[in-house]
Amino acid sequence: MTALLEVQGISLSFGGLKAVSDFSIALRAGDLQGLIGPNGAGKTTVFNLLTGVYRADRGSIRLGGLDLGGAKPSRIAAAGLARTFQNIRLFGDLSVLDNVRVACHLRAATSMAGAILRTSAHRGEEAALRAYATELLEIFGLGDRTGEQARNLPYGDQRRLEIARALATSPKVLLLDEPAAGMNPQEKAALSALIRFVRDRFGVAILLIEHDMGLVMKVCEGITVLDHGVTIARGTPEQVQNDPVVIEAYLGAPAQEGGGVPAERRS
Amino acid sequence: MTASPWAGKAGALRPGTAAAATAGVTPFAVGLLLAAALQYAVGPAVGPFFSDLLIKIGINVILAVSLNVVNGYTGQFSIGHAGFMAVGGYAAGALTYYTSMLAWGGPQVQGGVFGVGSALFVGACLVGGLVAAAAGWAVGLPSLRLRGDYLAIVTLGFGEIVRVLLQQTQDVPFTADEARALSPVEMATHLGGSLGFSGIPFYTNLFWVWCFVTLTLLVAYRLKESTFGRAFLSIRENEIAAEAMGVDTTRYKVRAFVIAAFFAGVAGALFAHKIGTTLNPRELGFMKSFDIVIMVVLGGMGSISGATIAAVLLTVLPEALRGAADYRMIVYALMLVLVMIVRPQGLFGIREIWELPPFARRRGR
Ligand SMILES: Nc1ncnc2c1ncn2[C@@H]1O[C@H](COP(=O)(O)OP(=O)(O)O)[C@@H](O)[C@H]1O
Ligand SMILES: [Mg+2]
């Protein structure tokens, strides 16, 4: 089976800093892969490159054979690449339901005139979007909070809402940037089940950035390790976990925030 | 269906909004009836002073609600709304004035509320809106790159350019023969200059103003409640996330500018044909833009009912303070500072009045 998302040799520098060097990855439909590395390794920058927030200095990004190089983020989202954000970026003043309905935007087909005249086609579409968004929120355990302002949700719910919102764009590939950050152990356990469930239920390929090694090792089938923008290892969780280069990168790095420690060192 | 990790915890489906009751063209018809009631019952009953006030209120509601699409929904900061009003007002005014001169030999009103002259007037309002919308598109384009203060400066500059250009135009011809001697291009350069454009026939009445108010409110509200409105609001909430969710933010910003400018142009056209108006570039400058911005900020960025109520308040207030007209701007400024301290989100924030307690329990807006 050929790759769905095919990234070849992308690089990006911020001034003199090489944030990402010659990064490549391939995801097939239904893959669940991890992207790890110490703080500042360039993981989020990779996501920003893939989703068009930054433009790569070099390299190519293809999704289902479509060249995404230089495309703007909204077009990349339309092509089937969705993401969540490390620093949560919900639409805070909008309701939980509307956060998801914004992401249903790509499915809406009626014209502005249809919306203004409230034609029956438009009303039917709005009803369908509402039903779809509500169902999605119920799957994510947010079915009883649809009317709440997103900013008022507890932290863990906000992270889940971000995933639900990303899924509402009907992606082929989902990029999750530290979805477990700030969650308690129970929430983390539920999250790893949810990530697997999302992959199975929605058939998306998932690329996961996560600092919680226990979660990454449990959930991911393949792992890529970045350090200073360079890919230093790639393999199964076991291979990566026992790779001396990886251990070196984590232990050699200055004190970590957020517990970026290999699994075997977690007490 | 695979069981979700949260299966069984899902809450009951909330009922839909009262969309069915406000569907289709019914509200347009209701607005038409209300406008007719204002024209034929309320107007004659309250007399010319209050009729004029109701017309001013209607025009300001159109201005505030339309600016709200840009400043409230998409969170851009335009302070040049009066510029679009001027463009629409002059375009419409010139159209009726010169057409009347050529067709009827003078600028007198032809026919009643539904007469041939009114047909020309309503057409001119729509043309004024379209010309202003074109200007809105041109000003919206820089918003592709500019944000915040920079965009504000561009819109301010636009308003000032419009004002200066209008001041450079030449005198309006007073007779039909003088008017006939002008080519259409020359007509566009004979708009009265800094002395103002007088003689535009007084077609504006309660009926047509409140028809356009209805149109503005319904368009603004129905857009807000649709996928388009949610796209606008998402830009204001978080532009990066909006793009990532597939909202083409540049395209929607330009759309917001075009819609807002269209209705500002219509408001300008209604103002141009109002009894007692001499269109003057000075009156449609920065101060007028500032008035409209205050209405939106006071009402709550994004709230249609908020902008409407603020527009009513801020139209009535200066009339009530007539004796203290010189202090109007001071009162405005103080009010704005006070609101920003006590209620930074404006009276209603992003919500509509019926979505707030005690009018409604929490709802899935
Ligand atoms: N917009 C930016 N401008 C300049 N430097 C940046 C920018 N974004 C990220 N960086 C730098 O690039 C490096 C990688 O950052 P990031 O991708 O956020 O790391 P990670 O997500 O792996 O923790 C860091 O050194 C960071 O300071
Ligand atoms: Mg990061």
pLDDT of residue B358: 66
B323 touches chain A (CB under 8 A): no
Q: How far is Cα A245 from Cα A233, in angstroms, rounded to an integer?
A: 8
Over range B228-252, report the average pLDDT. 95
A143 and A214 both lie in a single domain: no
Ion ligand 2: residues, CB within 5 A, are A 44, 86
pLDDT of residue B360: 61
Residues A123 and A252 in one domain: no
Q: Do B238 and A90 touch (CB under 8 A)?
A: yes
> What distance in Å separates the CA atoms of residue B352 and residue B192, rounded to the nearest whole number?
42
Q: Which residue CA neighbors atom 17 of ligand 1 most closely?
A: A42
pLDDT of residue B334: 84
Q: Residues B237-265: what's their mean pLDDT?
A: 95
- Give me the number of domains chain A comprises: 2
Alpha carbon of A209: minimum distance to chain B alpha carbons (Å):
17
- Atom 21 of ligand 1, residue of closest alpha carbon: A44
Q: Which of A93, A103, A146 is closest, CB to CB, to B14? A: A146
The answer to whether B230 contacts chain A (CB < 8 Å) is yes
Residue B254 contacts A, CB cutoff 8 Å? no
Helix pair B249-272, B227-237: axis angle to 10 deg: 110
Distance between CA atoms of residues B13 and B186, nearest Å:
63
Question: Does pLDDT of A261 surpass 60?
Answer: no
Q: Is B175 helix (H, G, I), strand (E, B) or coil?
A: coil
A18 lines ligand 1 (CB under 6 A): no
Residue A165: per-residue pLDDT: 97
Test the B interface: residue of A116, A123, A192 with most B CBs within 10 Å: A116
Domain map of chain B by residue range? Answer: 24-285
The pLDDT tens digits for A87-116 are: 999 999 999 999 999 999 888 888 999 999
Tell me which of A135, A150, A170 is where a domain ends.
A170
A229 and A98 share one domain: no
Report pLDDT digits (tens) over B157-211. 999 999 999 999 999 998 888 888 899 889 989 998 989 999 999 999 999 999 9
E-strand ranges in chain A read 5-14, 17-27, 32-36, 58-63, 66-67, 81-83, 173-177, 205-209, 222-227, 230-235
**Does B242 lie at the interface with A, CB-CB under 8 angstroms?**
yes
Q: Which residue has the higher pLDDT, B258 or B111?
A: B258
Q: Which residues constitute the domain of residue A205?
A: 30-56+65-80+174-267
Answer whether residue B103 shows pLDDT above 80.
yes
Q: At what angle do helices B43-67 and B249-272 cross, to 10 degrees?
A: 150
Q: Which residues contact B193 (CB under 8 A, 6 or more apart)?
A: B166, B167, B168, B169, B170, B171
Percentage of residues of chain B with pLDDT beyond 90? 60
Interface test with A, best of B9, B225, B230 (most A CBs within 10 A): B230
Q: Does A193 lie in the same domain as A74?
A: yes
> Closest residue (by CA) to atom 24 of ligand 1?
A40
Whether residue A40 has its Cβ less than 6 Å from ligand 1: yes
Helix ranges, B68-175 (H): 81-104, 116-140, 148-167
Ligand 1 lined by A45 (C-beta under 6 Å): yes
**pLDDT the model gives residue A194:** 93
Residues of chain B in contact with residue A195, where contact means CB-CB under 8 angstroms, are: none
- Residue A3 CA to ligand 1 center (angstroms) comes to 27
Predicted confidence at residue A267, as pLDDT, reads 35
Say if B21 is an interface residue toward chain A (CB within 8 Å).
Answer: no
In a domain, A259, yes or no: yes
CATH code at position A202: 3.40.50.300
pLDDT in tens, B115-157: 899 999 999 999 999 999 999 999 888 767 777 778 888 999 9
Q: CB-based contact (8 Å) between A116 and chain B?
A: yes
Confidence check: pLDDT of B16 > 60: no
Q: Is residue B55 predicted with pLDDT exceeding 60?
A: yes
Encode pLDDT of B90-102 as tens digits: 999 999 999 999 9
Question: B350 with B303: CB under 8 angstroms?
Answer: yes
Nearest Cα residue in chain B from A202: B2
What are phi and psi for residue B239, nearest 5 degrees? -65, -40
Q: Is A190 on the interface with B (CB under 8 A)?
A: yes
Nearest to B2 among A102, A168, A200 (CB): A200
Residue A236 banded pLDDT, cuts 50, 70, 90 = very high
| Residue A75 with chain B: CB contacts under 8 Å | 248
Q: Which residue has the higher pLDDT, B179 or B267?
A: B267
**Which mutation among A12, A39, A43, A45 tests ligand 1's pocket best, with the greatest number of atoms within 8 A of CB?**
A45
- Supply the pLDDT for residue B47: 94
| A19 occurs within a structural domain | no
Contact check, Cβ <8 Å, B23/A197: no
Cβ pairs bridging A and B (under 8 Å): 163
Residue position matching structure tokens 């009317």: A147
Determine contact: B244 vs chain A, CB below 8 A. Answer: yes
* Predicted pLDDT at B351: 82
Report residue B322's pLDDT band, with 50, 70 and 90 as the boundaries.
confident
A143/B244 Cβ within 8 A: no
Q: Are A119 and A180 contained in the same domain?
A: no
Report which of residues B220 and B345 the model is more confident about: B220
Q: Is the pLDDT at B357 greater than 90, yes or no?
A: no
Residue B22's pLDDT is 59
Q: Which residues pair with A205 in a beta bridge?
A: A173
Same domain, A127 and A142: yes
Which pLDDT tens digit goes with each residue over B272-313?
A: 999 988 999 999 999 899 999 999 998 888 999 999 999 999
The architecture in CATH of the region B24-285 reads: Orthogonal Bundle (1.10)
What residue owns the CA closest to ligand 1's atom 12?
A: A19
Query: Same structural domain for residues A180 and A76?
Result: yes
Q: Are residues A104 and A119 in the same domain?
A: yes
User: Taken in order A239, A242, A248, A250, is the CA torsion positive or negative?
Assistant: positive
Q: What is the pLDDT of residue B169?
A: 93
Same-domain status, A161 and A180: no
Contact A138 B10 (CB under 8 A): yes
Which pTM does this prediction carry? Answer: 0.90
pLDDT at position B9 over 70 = no
Pocket test residue of A14, A43, A53 for ligand 1, highest count of atoms within 8 A of CB: A14
**pLDDT tens-digit readout, A51-90:** 999 999 999 999 998 999 889 999 999 999 999 999 999 9
Residue range B338-349: average pLDDT? 81
pLDDT band at B8 (very low <50, low <70, confident <90, very high): very low
Rg of the Cα atoms in chain B? 22
Residues A147 and A165 in one domain: yes
- Nearest one of A61, A27, A10 to A175, comparing CA atoms: A27
| B343 SS3 class | coil
What is the reported pLDDT for A11? 96
pLDDT tens-digit readout, A114-164: 999 998 899 999 999 999 999 999 999 999 999 999 999 999 999 999 999
Q: Is A259's pLDDT higher than 80?
A: no
Q: Answer yes or no: do A71 and A106 share one domain.
A: no
Grade residue B329 by pLDDT with cuts at 50, 70 and 90: confident
* Domain edge (last residue) among A170, A188, A208: A170
Is residue B28's pLDDT more than 50? yes
State yes or no: pLDDT of A173 exceeds 60.
yes
Interface predicted TM-score (ipTM) of this complex, two decimals? 0.90
Residue position matching structure tokens 């002059």: B90
Domain stops at, among A153, A170, A187: A170
